[in-house]
């Protein structure tokens, strides 16, 4: 069995208490509230007959090998494609907690809500123990992708690469702003705090980065993970990577001649949101006059970043790679050149 990004959506088969249309609507509601992928897939597991080890339960095989392409932070087997070959316990209570967290209990169809409450403690581990051998193997991940990008960055561009994290989370526009603030702050003035922490795996990784930028003027910062976008009623067309890039572009100080920055934020699957772009670029001088700045802020507020990028610089600041047939979350690459 091959488990990969998109498996959660492509392998639904809802439980009897829920229709496919109801499942889709509930997931969209959670996404609009900013639920992360772990929360989404926990709810999906409670909705499905096949997820959370369900595929193993109905299999007659005595040996199952799962080849896994991870699109989830930390590569947890239970959340990748919602774990069709990995059982991780009852998800009904956790699903209820997630709906409560986002104030969506009243949106749950009556039959499904009743099912969740009546089966909070049900053990669905039957038949899994009868499978003699289950081997789940991760064959691709964000870490592997970033390491390949770091190698190319060093070999082809002669930049010193540094992988900060493969667990990037947070609201896209905030992350974009913080990345620019990080690379434009003098090494001696950098302090590990809550604003910085989300950009690094841990403090020791931050310490290594601080040491590196004291020694090298030209470096490539690489981050991977998956940010979120909290949607509002007035919604345009865009994606989380485009929001991150536009926020970064607005944060770059065009009067700072000492630091040159080129940032790319892109989805590894080639698709960012409901658009044909994988992501977008940000760099010095991209947004200069007051009208452009105002329009960029409006686009961010309306989540209409694709329209902004399409209408600016003939759309050249969008990355359009087409579908890559691979999803290992998002990749952010930042080339930094310091003159002093």
For a pLDDT cut of 90, what percent of the chain falls above it? 75
Residue 114 maps to which CATH number?
3.40.50.10180
**173 & 82 share domain:** no
* DSSP 8-state secondary structure symbol assigned to residue 130: T
Tell which of 125, 140, 155 closes a domain.
140
Question: pLDDT: is 89 or 21 the higher one?
Answer: 21
Is residue 223 pLDDT above 70, yes or no?
yes
Residue 252 maps to which CATH number?
3.40.1480.10
Rg of the chain over CA atoms, in angstroms?
Answer: 22
**251 & 297 share domain:** yes
Q: Which of 157, 47, 144 is nearest to 94 (CA)?
A: 47
**272 & 301 share domain:** yes
Tell which of 84, 117, 140 closes a domain.
140
- pTM equals 0.82
**47 & 167 share domain:** no
Tell which of 140, 169, 195 closes a domain.
140
**105 & 162 share domain:** no
Q: Determine how many CB atoms are found less than 10 A away from the CB of residue 301.
A: 12
**136 & 148 share domain:** no
- Count the domains in the chain: 2
| Domain interval for residue 88 | 2-140
**66 & 212 share domain:** no
Q: Determine how many CB atoms are found less than 10 A away from the CB of residue 194.
A: 7
Q: What is the DSSP string of 105-148?
A: GGGS-HHHHHHHHHTTT----TTTTT-SEEEEEEEE-HHHHHHH
User: Using CA atoms, how far apart are residues 246 and 283, in angstroms rounded to an integer?
Assistant: 10
User: Using CA atoms, how far apart are residues 269 and 300, in angstroms rounded to an integer?
Assistant: 23
Q: Which of 200, 225, 221, 176 is nearest to 329 (CA)?
A: 225
What's the pLDDT score for residue 4? 67
Selection from 41-45, 63-67, 131-135, 206-210 with the highest mean pLDDT? 206-210
User: Using CA atoms, how far apart are residues 26 and 18, in angstroms rounded to an integer?
Assistant: 10
SS3 266: strand
**59 & 77 share domain:** yes
What's the pLDDT score for residue 97? 96
What sign does the dihedral 81-202-194-219 (CA atoms) show? Answer: negative
User: Using CA atoms, how far apart are residues 104 and 29, in angstroms rounded to an integer?
Assistant: 8
Tell me the C-alpha to C-alpha distance, in Å, between residue 180 and each of 143, 191, 245, 333.
Answer: 22, 15, 10, 12
Reported confidence tier of residue 61, pLDDT bands at 50, 70, 90: confident
**126 & 59 share domain:** yes
**For the ranges 53-57, 205-209, 275-279, which has the lowest average pLDDT?**
53-57
**127 & 168 share domain:** no
**85 & 156 share domain:** no
Contact indicator for 47, 23 with CB cutoff of 8 Å = yes
Q: What is the DSSP string of 26-63?
A: HHHHHHHTT--HHHHHHHHHHHBSSTTTHHHHH---SE
Q: Which of 311, 287, 284, 282 is nearest to 297 (CA)?
A: 287
**129 & 154 share domain:** no
User: Using CA atoms, how far apart are residues 65 and 62, in angstroms rounded to an integer?
Assistant: 10
Question: pLDDT: is 277 or 256 the higher one?
Answer: 277
What's the pLDDT score for residue 11? 85
Residue 242 belongs to what H/E stretch?
A: helix 240-251
């Amino acid at each position: 069995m091959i488990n990969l990004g998109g498996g959660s959506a492509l392998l639904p088969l809802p439980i009897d208490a829920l229709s496919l249309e109801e499942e889709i609507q509930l997931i969209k509601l959670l996404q609009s509230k900013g639920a992360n992928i772990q929360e989404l897939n926990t709810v999906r597991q409670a909705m499905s007959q096949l997820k959370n080890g369900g595929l193993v339960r109905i299999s007659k095989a005595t040996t199952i090998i799962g080849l896994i392409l991870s699109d989830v932070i930390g590569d947890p087997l239970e959340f990748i494609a919602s774990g069709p070959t990995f059982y991780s316990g009852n998800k009904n209570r956790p699903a209820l907690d997630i709906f409560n967290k986002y104030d969506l209990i009243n949106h749950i169809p009556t039959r499904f809500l009743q099912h969740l409450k009546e089966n909070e403690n049900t053990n669905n581990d039957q038949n899994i123990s009868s499978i003699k051998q289950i081997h789940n193997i991760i064959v691709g991940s964000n870490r592997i992708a970033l390491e390949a990008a770091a190698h190319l960055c060093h070999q082809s561009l002669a930049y010193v690469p540094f992988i900060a994290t493969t667990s990037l989370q947070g609201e896209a526009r905030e992350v974009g702003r913080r990345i620019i603030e990080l690379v434009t702050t003098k090494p001696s003035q950098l302090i590990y705090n809550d604003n910085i922490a989300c950009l690094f795996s841990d403090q020791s990784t931050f310490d290594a980065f601080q040491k590196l930028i004291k020694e090298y003027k030209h470096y490539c910062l690489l981050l991977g993970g998956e940010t979120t976008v909290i949607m509002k009623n007035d919604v345009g067309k865009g994606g989380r990577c485009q929001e991150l890039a536009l926020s970064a572009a607005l944060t770059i100080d065009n009067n700072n001649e000492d630091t040159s920055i080129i940032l790319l934020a892109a989805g590894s699957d080639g698709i960012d949101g409901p658009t044909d772009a994988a992501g977008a670029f940000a760099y010095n001088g991209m947004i200069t006059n007051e009208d452009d700045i105002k329009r960029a802020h409006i686009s961010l507020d309306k989540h209409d970043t694709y329209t902004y990028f399409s209408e600016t610089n003939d759309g050249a600041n969008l990355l359009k790679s087409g579908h890559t047939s691979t999803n290992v979350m998002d990749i952010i690459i930042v080339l930094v050149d310091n003159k002093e």
